């Protein structure tokens, strides 16, 4: 799925999108001021899980089309150079806190199913700790995009759910999903999950999770409201009060279907003339 990330200072925009010359999802570097663009990566591999470590260092996951290992890469976008690359057994997804990247979380798979979540130091990339994956059967859905973590080590997942009252018991239907949060239990050394958002009443999917100001969970919703059509919404959930605001996104007075979305810093908004 395409994704875009604006650097904290607003000088760079990185877009993971289809490169027709490679038939792959590469990273397109966009200068929003000069309105120019160029490929940062240009190879037969899928790039995803874009995250900023600071104003100019970009973290991404590289999934090659051949049988070579999946790799985590760190790019210096100022110099357009790859400055770090390494592999971790079974990794399929990475996540970094948006406001303060004090940890890198990797979701690792084993024998065809999610196995554990490893937490890495964002400077040395040494493994600090690891937790078993907190759900018996249900993976994040889709696997490539629906896991985030914040600086408090709170994990948020979109998982498949068959029954709103019991989302963890069966693999369920990928078109019926729930949002859960998991926090570390240091004594038992595990993640303890609880449901945040039950599946839409008539079925549907959630996606594009983002946390704003450590309090508000922003996510998209495709809800089956009748037999003939889906309705598209953006939701904002207050984690402290439980209140939820739901709206239909519009652009220039027209309703739009967002493929993906991202939050940007106030500094970037000012640099881009948005504030």
H or E element, residue 222? strand 216-224
- Does residue 263 fall inside a structural domain? yes
| Cis check: omega of the bond before 142, within 30 degrees of 0 | yes
Main-chain dihedrals φ then ψ at residue 266, nearest 5 degrees: -65, -35
Tell me which of 25, 54, 87 is where a domain ends.
87
* Average pLDDT of the segment spanning 69-74: 91
Q: How many domains does the chain have?
A: 2
| Residue range(s) defining the domain that contains residue 5 | 1-87
Tell me what pLDDT residue 164 has. Answer: 46
The answer as to whether 106 is a domain residue is: no
Q: Confidence class of residue 193 from pLDDT cuts 50, 70 and 90?
A: confident
Residues 73-87: tens digit of each pLDDT: 999 999 999 999 988
Q: Residue 270 is inside which H or E element, if any?
A: helix 266-271
Higher pLDDT, 254 or 172: 254
Task: Tell me phi and psi for residue 62, to 5 degrees.
Answer: -110, 120
Q: Are 174 and 245 contained in the same domain? A: yes
pTM over 0.85? The answer is no
Kindly compute the dihedral angle of the four CA atoms of residues 25, 51, 61, 34, in this order, to the nearest 10 degrees. Answer: 40
- pLDDT of amino acid 267: 83
According to the model, what pLDDT value does residue 81 have? 95
Residues with Cβ within 8 Å of 229's Cβ and at least 6 positions away in sequence, in order, are: none
For 34, residues 6+ apart whose C-beta sits below 8 A from its C-beta are: none
- The torsion region of residue 86 among left (phi > 0), alpha (psi -120 to 50) and beta comes to beta
- Structure confidence at residue 146 as a pLDDT band (50, 70, 90): confident
In a domain, 119, yes or no: no
Closest CA to 11 of 45, 72, 68, 52: 52
Are residues 149 and 271 part of one domain?
Answer: yes
**Lookup: tokens for 30:** 């966009």
Residues 270 and 146 in one domain: yes
**Residue 189: inside a domain:** yes
Domain check: are 144 and 261 in the same one?
yes
Q: What does the pLDDT read at residue 135?
A: 77
Task: Answer whether 64's CB lies under 8 Å from 70's CB.
Answer: yes
Domain identity same for 57 and 154: no
Q: Retrieve residue 155's tokens.
A: 């994990």
Give me the pLDDT at residue 168, please: 46
What tokens were used for 100?
A: 């303060």
Q: Which residues contact 224 (CB under 8 A, 6 or more apart)?
A: 175, 200, 202, 203, 204, 230
Q: Binning pLDDT at 50, 70 and 90, where does residue 229 land?
A: low
Could you tell me the CATH number of the domain that includes residue 41? Answer: 2.40.128.660
Residue corresponding to tokens 């877009």: 15
pLDDT exceeds cutoff 50 at 143:
no
207-238: burial string, b at 16+ Cβ within 10 Å, e else: bbbbbeeeebbbbbbbbbeeeeebebbbbebe
Helices (H), 204-265: none
* Section 203-222 average pLDDT: 87
Q: Does residue 55 belong to any structural domain of this protein?
A: yes
Model pLDDT for residues 87-138, shown as the tens digit of each residue: 888 887 888 877 678 888 998 888 877 889 999 998 888 999 999 988 765 5
SS3 (DSSP) at 266: helix
Structural domain contains residue 113: no
Using CA of residue 245, residue 246, residue 250, residue 256, what is the dihedral sign?
Answer: positive
Which residues is 51 bridged to in the sheet? 59
């Amino acid at each position: 799925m395409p994704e875009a990330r604006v650097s904290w200072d607003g000088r760079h925009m990185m877009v993971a999108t289809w490169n027709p010359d490679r038939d792959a999802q590469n990273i397109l570097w966009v200068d929003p001021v000069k309105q120019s663009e160029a490929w940062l990566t240009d190879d037969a591999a899928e790039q995803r899980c874009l995250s900023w470590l600071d104003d100019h260092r970009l973290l991404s996951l590289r999934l090659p089309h051949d049988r070579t290992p999946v790799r985590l890469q760190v790019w210096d976008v100022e110099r357009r150079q790859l400055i770090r690359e390494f592999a971790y057994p079974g990794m399929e997804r990475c996540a970094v806190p948006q406001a303060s990247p004090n940890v890198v979380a990797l979701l690792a798979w084993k024998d065809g199913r999610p196995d554990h979540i490893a937490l890495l130091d964002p400077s040395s990339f040494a493994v600090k700790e690891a937790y078993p994956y907190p759900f018996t059967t249900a993976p994040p859905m889709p696997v490539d995009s629906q896991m985030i973590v914040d600086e408090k080590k709170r994990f948020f997942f979109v998982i498949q759910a068959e029954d709103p009252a019991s989302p963890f018991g069966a693999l369920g239907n990928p078109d019926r999903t729930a949002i859960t949060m998991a926090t570390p239990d240091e004594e038992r050394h595990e993640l303890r999950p609880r449901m945040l958002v039950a599946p839409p009443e008539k079925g549907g999917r959630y996606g594009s999770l983002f946390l704003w100001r450590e309090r508000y969970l922003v996510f998209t919703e495709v809800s089956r409201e009748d037999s003939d059509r889906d309705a598209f919404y953006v939701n904002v959930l207050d984690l402290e009060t439980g209140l939820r605001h739901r709206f239909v996104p519009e652009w220039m007075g027209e309703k739009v279907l967002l493929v993906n979305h991202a939050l940007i810093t106030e500094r970037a908004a000012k640099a881009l003339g948005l504030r």
